């Protein structure tokens, strides 16, 4: 073993491997993606089977099969992915598992890269699954091993809920020894156990209720992940869980340095919650008895806060619990050390004064809105549709991925974006409401496999009229270029037959299914016009690789293009219509008083889209 700096997601992967996980499946999504990739790195050493499934539901079901046979399994996703997986997960809660099964659902306070700020701890309560909430990478490493043990002890899936700052934080820890998993398992038929019947669900509900309301709250009260620290002689105690625990500890250290004579800070008492569901009530009752006022710090929903208020109501204790409900703590977004310092300073000293910490003030960073990369093929796809449908009554339904950025000016080609796969079915809703509006759906290749196919079938069967635009860049770009069924590569490193999106669309009854190169605007615009004239569901597959993987796929870049200063008239059409980050306005002034365009050669890939747009052929 050696001591290394290890990322939180790597720590989760190592913890699972250390626990003997035999199958790991997931769907990529920030902040969880690195877990599967790190497990794949050691698959030959441990013998673990690992896959990127087509979506989170499939991943949970693949893992359930292996778990029923007795193997330890891991499922990974981000928090919104848990919605996709909820159907099998809710049923697994009742049916149970045999081999330990841990579901990692990474929450995204902020949110930084998600549609919602939903809290997996609440889903744990809703689905009746035990939940661990790590504060650091090392805690995540140890917790997931205990989660496997708990899963097998109570025959239930267990949730591990890291948040972004835990997933992506680094901590020095011993790299564990990883050995070949030699355990074999075999599925044993047992209809009464593995087939979900109404009667068995009723009986299992009673068993789960007893476990979650009586057994686990007592067991978790003695867990090392939940504890009280301090003597409780201060006027106010502080409770926290997850990454907020680290913020609280650092914030109190800062305040102690700022107010060295404060007896309040010296005597402050802390409650740390590492298993938010089922809640460690016995421990919390002890804390509530010792502290008459408690401030709770936690990100997303007030889970710990509500649990403490519930205990007060149930037991008749008079402790005052402050947090999100009374506005003491911000109700949304990420917390930070600075936020906790500000809140505690007001609580203990009735002061919001921010004293100088000694550090130099740092200027605010400039606002930099997200934008499609220079040379991204999606820009050409959006532009082709925009040109083809100019002046027509349309609706442009977007989806989750890089192409969500098609909403930004100047492209402005995403009228809606709800969740994965919704672009196709929402377009059908628009059409059935307004038959004279031609509706377009923009979906990526990975998302098409994840949740787009069912929408296509629905549209064909229910006789909608729409054009599905598949922006096929040969990878799952936004989350880190993971493989999918259209790439011809598995996470086990095997080359397999690619699934043809064109054949799938044709098999579903889509007609016509056209293919176009988004960098060949003449061809792309013609394809869009032809598809839009069809009566039913039509499709255009815009096929060009993501610039980040193009070289690996054998594509060669042409090299950056240039603006010919003597030809440029300063119309800036290339800048105004494309929004490519490689294009900018020159400081030099032309004779007509306008500023010509210029191209940053370090960013330009030579895709040529601006060359095609230029009305005076000034770009070559």
Taking residues 307-314, what's their average pLDDT?
A: 96
346 to each of 232, 292, 359, 391, 488, how far by Cα in Å?
Answer: 19, 17, 22, 57, 58
546 known member of a binding site = no
pLDDT of residue 234: 86
Any domain includes 620: no
pLDDT, position 397: 94
Residue 354 confidence (pLDDT) above 60:
no
Rounded Cα–Cα distance for residues 72 and 52 (Å):
17
CATH number at residue 282: 3.40.50.920
Give pLDDT, residue 113: 81
The answer to the question of whether 373 is labelled as a binding residue is no
Length of the chain equals 620
> In the predicted model, what is the mean pLDDT of residues 127-147?
98
Kindly state whether residues 570 and 433 are assigned to the same domain. no
For residue 528, which phi and psi values (nearest 5 degrees)? -65, -45
236 and 215: one domain? no
> Which pair of structure tokens corresponds to residue 478?
């936004």
Closest CA to 598 of 587, 609, 612, 613: 587
Confirm whether residue 580 is marked as ligand binding. Answer: yes
- What 3-state DSSP class applies to 9? helix
User: What does 161-183 look like in DSSP terms, one character per residue?
Assistant: --BHHHHH-EEEEEPPP------
What percent helix, strand, coil does the chain show, rounded to 5?
A: 40, 15, 45
Confidence check: pLDDT of 100 > 60: yes
Has residue 168 been placed in a domain? yes
- 359 falls in which pLDDT band (50, 70, 90)? low
Q: pLDDT tens for residues 255-270? A: 999 999 998 899 999 9
DSSP code, position 487: T
**Are both 54 and 144 inside the same structural domain?**
yes
- Which residue has 């409770």 as its token pair? 239
| 373 — pLDDT class (breaks 50, 70, 90) | very high
- Mean pLDDT over 387-416 rounds to 93
More confident residue, 112 or 519: 519
231 with 326, same domain? yes
What 3-state class would DSSP assign to 37?
Answer: helix
The answer on pLDDT for 360 being more than 70 is no
Q: Is 497 left (phi over 0), alpha (psi -120 to 50) or beta?
A: beta
In angstroms, the CA 417 to CA 402 distance is 12
**Same domain membership, residue 231 and residue 157:** no
Considering the chain, what percentage of its residues have pLDDT values greater than 90?
82
Of the candidates 585, 580, 586, the one whose C-alpha atom is nearest the C-alpha of residue 608 is 580
Prior bond to 31 cis, omega within 30? yes
Cβ neighbours around 613 below 10 Å, total: 18
How many CA atoms, within 13 angstroms, populate the side-chain half-sphere of residue 309? 13
Distance CA 240, CA 287 (A): 13
The last residue of one of the domains, among 522, 553, 584, is: 553
Q: Across all residues in the chain, what is the average pLDDT?
A: 93
In a domain, residue 362? The reply is no
Helix (H, G, I), strand (E, B) or coil at 73: strand
Average pLDDT over residues 376-397: 96
Distance CA 143, CA 105 (A): 14
pLDDT of residue 352: 59
On whether residue 69 sits in a domain, the answer given is: yes
Q: Is 376 annotated as a binding residue?
A: no
Residue 614, marked binder: yes
Residue with structure tokens 């086990």?
492
Q: Give the model's confidence band at 364: pLDDT under 50 very low, under 70 low, under 90 confident, else very high.
A: confident
CA–CA separation, 583 vs 600, rounded Å?
6
Q: Reduced to 3 states, what is the DSSP secondary structure of residue 69?
A: coil
610 marked ligand binding residue: yes
Same domain membership, residue 515 and residue 577: no
pLDDT at position 468: 97
How many distinct structural domains can be found in the chain? 4
Same domain flag for 209 and 312: no
At residue 418 the predicted structure's pLDDT band, cuts being 50, 70 and 90, is confident
**Confidence check: pLDDT of 574 > 60:** yes
**Any domain includes 359:** no
Residues 202 and 53 in one domain: yes
3-state secondary structure labels for all residues of 293-317? EEEEECCCCCHHHHHHHHHHHHHCC
pLDDT at 165 over 70: yes
In the block, residue with structure tokens 């009586």? 214
pLDDT attached to residue 353: 55
370 versus 293: which is more confidently predicted?
293
**Same domain assignment for residues 392 and 264:** no
User: What mean pLDDT do residues 595-614 have?
Assistant: 93
Report CA torsion sign: 563, 568, 570, 574: negative
Q: What is the CATH number of the domain that holds 70?
A: 3.40.50.970
Q: Residue 357: pLDDT above 70?
A: no
Among 348, 367, 393, the domain-final residue is 348
For the cut 90, the answer to whether the pLDDT of residue 307 exceeds it is yes
The single residue listed with the structure tokens 């599905």 is 468
Residue 369 lies in a domain: no
d(CA 56, CA 75): 8
Question: Is residue 353 assigned to a domain?
Answer: no
The CA distances from residue 552 to 246, 382, 566, 603, 615, in Å, are 41, 25, 37, 19, 34
- Please indicate, yes or no, whether residues 573 and 428 belong to a single structural domain of this protein: no
User: Is 206 found in the same domain as 267?
Assistant: no
User: From CA 282, how far away is CA 215, in angstroms rounded?
Assistant: 11
The answer on whether 419 is annotated among ligand-binding residues is no
Average pLDDT of the segment spanning 61-69 = 92
Q: Are residues 90 and 157 in the same domain?
A: yes
**Tokens representing 452?**
């787009």
Domain boundary among 327, 348, 369: 348
Q: How far apart are CA 384 and CA 253, in angstroms?
A: 57
- In this structure, is residue 365 part of a structural domain? no
Q: Is 251 helix (H, G, I), strand (E, B) or coil?
A: helix
pLDDT for residue 1 is more than 70: no
- Would you say 574 is a known binding-site residue? yes
Q: In what order do the strands lie in the sheet with 49-52?
A: 49-52, 23-26, 73-78, 101-106, 158-160, 131-132
Domain span at residue 494 reads 377-553
């Amino acid at each position: 073993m050696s001591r290394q700096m290890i990322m939180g997601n790597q720590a989760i992967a190592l913890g699972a491997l250390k626990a003997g996980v035999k199958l790991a499946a997931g769907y990529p999504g920030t902040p969880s993606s690195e877990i599967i990739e790190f497990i794949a790195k050691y698959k030959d050493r441990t013998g673990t089977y690992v896959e990127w499934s087509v979506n989170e539901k499939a991943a949970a079901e693949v893992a359930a099969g292996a778990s029923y046979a007795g193997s330890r399994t891991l499922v990974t996703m981000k928090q919104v992915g848990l919605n996709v997986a909820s159907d099998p997960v809710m049923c697994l809660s009742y049916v149970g598992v045999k081999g330990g099964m841990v579901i990692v659902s990474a929450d995204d306070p902020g949110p930084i890269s998600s549609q919602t700020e939903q809290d997996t701890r609440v889903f744990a309560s809703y689905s009746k699954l035990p939940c661990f909430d790590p504060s650091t990478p090392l805690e995540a490493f140890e917790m997931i091993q205990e989660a496997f043990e708990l899963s097998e002890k109570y025959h239930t899936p267990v949730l591990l809920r890291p948040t972004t700052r835990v997933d992506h934080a680094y901590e020095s820890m011993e790299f564990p020894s990883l050995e070949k998993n030699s355990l074999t398992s075999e599925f044993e038929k047992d209809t009464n156990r593995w087939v979900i019947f109404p009667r068995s669900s009723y009986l299992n509900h009673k068993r789960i209720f007893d476990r979650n309301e009586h057994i686990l709250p007592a067991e978790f009260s003695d867990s090392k992940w939940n504890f009280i620290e301090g003597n409780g002689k201060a006027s106010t105690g502080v409770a926290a869980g997850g990454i907020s625990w680290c913020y609280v500890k650092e914030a109190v250290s800062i305040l102690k340095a700022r107010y060295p004579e404060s007896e309040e800070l010296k005597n402050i008492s802390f409650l740390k919650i590492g298993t938010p569901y089922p809640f460690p009530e016995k421990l919390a009752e002890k804390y509530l008895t010792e502290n008459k006022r408690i401030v709770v710090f936690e990100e997303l929903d007030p889970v710990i806060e509500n649990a403490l208020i519930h205990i007060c109501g149930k037991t008749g204790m008079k402790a005052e619990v402050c947090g999100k409900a009374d506005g003491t703590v911000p109700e949304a977004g990420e917390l930070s050390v600075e936020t906790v310092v500000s809140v505690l300073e007001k609580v203990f000293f009735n002061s919001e004064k921010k004293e100088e910490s000694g550090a130099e003030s740092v200027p605010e960073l400039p606002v930099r809105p997200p934008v499609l990369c220079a040379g991204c093929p999606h820009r050409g796809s959006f532009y082709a549709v925009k040109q083809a449908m100019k002046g027509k009554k349309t609706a442009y339904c977007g989806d989750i991925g890089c192409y969500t950025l098609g909403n930004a000016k100047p492209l402005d080609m995403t009228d809606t974006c709800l969740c994965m796969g919704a672009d196709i079915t929402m377009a059908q809703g628009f059409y059935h409401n307004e038959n004279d509006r031609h509706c377009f759906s923009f979906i990526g290749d990975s998302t098409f496999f994840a949740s787009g196919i069912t929408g296509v079938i629905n549209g064909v069967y229910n006789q909608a009229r729409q054009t599905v635009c598949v922006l096929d860049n040969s990878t799952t770009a936004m989350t880190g270029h993971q493989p999918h069924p259209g790439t011809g590569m598995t996470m086990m490193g095997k080359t397999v037959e690619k699934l043809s999106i064109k054949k799938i669309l044709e098999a579903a009854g889509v007609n016509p299914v056209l293919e176009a190169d988004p960098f060949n605007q003449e061809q792309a615009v013609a394809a869009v016009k032809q598809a839009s004239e069809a009566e039913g569901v039509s499709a255009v597959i815009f096929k060009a690789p993501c610039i980040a993987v193009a070289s690996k796929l054998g594509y060669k870049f042409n090299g950056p293009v240039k603006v010919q200063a003597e030809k440029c008239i300063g119309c800036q059409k290339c800048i105004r219509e494309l929004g490519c980050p490689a294009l900018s306005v020159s400081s030099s002034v032309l004779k007509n008083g306008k500023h010509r365009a210029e191209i940053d050669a370090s960013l330009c890939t030579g895709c040529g889209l601006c060359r095609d747009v230029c009305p005076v052929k000034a770009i070559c």
